Amino acid sequence: MNFITFTENNLRDFTYNVFKKMGCSDEHAVLATDVLVRSDLRGIDSHGVARLSGYVRLWEKKRINATPNIKIIHETPTTATVDGDAGLGLVVAPFAMKIAIEKAEKYGSGWVSVKNSNHFGIAGYHALMAVEQDMIGISMTNASPLVAPTYSSERLLGTNPMCYAFPAGKYPPVIIDMATAAAANGKLEIAQRANKSIPDGWVQDKNGESSINPNELKNGGSLLPLGSDKDHGSHKGYGLGATVDILSAVLSGANYGPWVPPFVAFLEPSANPVGEGLGHFLGAMRVDGFRPKEDFKNHLDNWVERFKSAETVDPEKKVIIPGEPEHEFETERKISGIPIIDVVVKDLNELAEKLGIKSLS
Q: Taking all residues of the chain, what is their mean pLDDT, rounded to a whole number?
A: 96
Q: Is there a single domain that holds both residue 257 and residue 135?
A: yes
Q: What is the pLDDT of residue 193?
A: 78
Dump pLDDT digits (tens) for 179-214: 999 988 878 888 887 889 999 999 999 999 999 999
Domain span including residue 17:
1-67+333-360
Q: What is the pLDDT of residue 194?
A: 80
What does the DSSP 8-state code read for residue 278?
E
Cα-only R_g, the chain: 20
d(CA 261, CA 64): 12
Residues for the chain: how many in total? 361
Contacts (Cβ under 8 Å, ≥6 apart) of 315: none
d(CA 228, CA 234): 5
Q: Is there a single domain that holds both residue 143 and residue 253?
A: yes
Q: What is the pLDDT of residue 290?
A: 98
* Residue among 37, 321, 286 at smallest CA distance from 137: 286
Q: What is the pLDDT of residue 361?
A: 78
Max distance between CA atoms of the chain, in angstroms, equals 56
Q: Dihedral (C-alpha) 281, 287, 288, 290: value to the nearest 10 degrees?
A: 90
Q: Is there a single domain that holds both residue 30 and residue 93?
A: no
Q: Are 142 and 249 in contact (CB under 8 A)?
A: yes
Q: Is there a single domain that holds both residue 61 and residue 76?
A: no
What are the CA-CA distances from residue 39 to residues 61, 113, 267 (Å)? 25, 23, 26
In the chain, the number of structural domains is 2
Q: Is there a single domain that holds both residue 251 and residue 295?
A: yes
Q: Is there a single domain that holds both residue 339 and residue 305?
A: no
Burial of 316 (0-12, 13-18, 19+ CB in 10 A): exposed
Q: Is there a single domain that holds both residue 137 and residue 255?
A: yes
Q: What is the pLDDT of residue 243?
A: 98
Q: What is the pLDDT of residue 189?
A: 80
In which order are the strands placed within the sheet that holds 222-223? 210-211, 203-204, 222-223
β partners of residue 141: 280
Mean pLDDT computed over 324-350: 97
Q: Is there a single domain that holds both residue 11 and residue 105?
A: no
Q: 3-state class of 19 per DSSP?
A: helix
Q: Are 118 and 83 in contact (CB under 8 A)?
A: no
Dump pLDDT digits (tens) for 245-284: 999 999 999 999 999 999 989 989 999 999 999 999 999 9
d(CA 309, CA 88): 42
Degrees (nearest 5) of the Cα angle 191, 361, 359? Answer: 90
d(CA 294, CA 283): 21
Q: The domain spanning residue 11 has which CATH number? A: 1.10.1530.10
Q: Is there a single domain that holds both residue 165 and residue 279?
A: yes
Dump pLDDT digits (tens) for 145-161: 999 999 999 999 999 99
Dump pLDDT digits (tens) for 63-87: 999 999 999 999 999 999 999 999 9
Mean pLDDT computed over 10-29: 98
Q: Are 354 and 20 in contact (CB under 8 A)?
A: no
pLDDT above 80: residue 175: yes
Q: The domain spanning residue 305 has which CATH number? A: 3.30.1370.60
Q: Is there a single domain that holds both residue 79 and residue 152?
A: yes
Q: What is the pLDDT of residue 30?
A: 98
Residue 280 inside a domain? The answer is: yes
Mean pLDDT computed over 330-354: 96
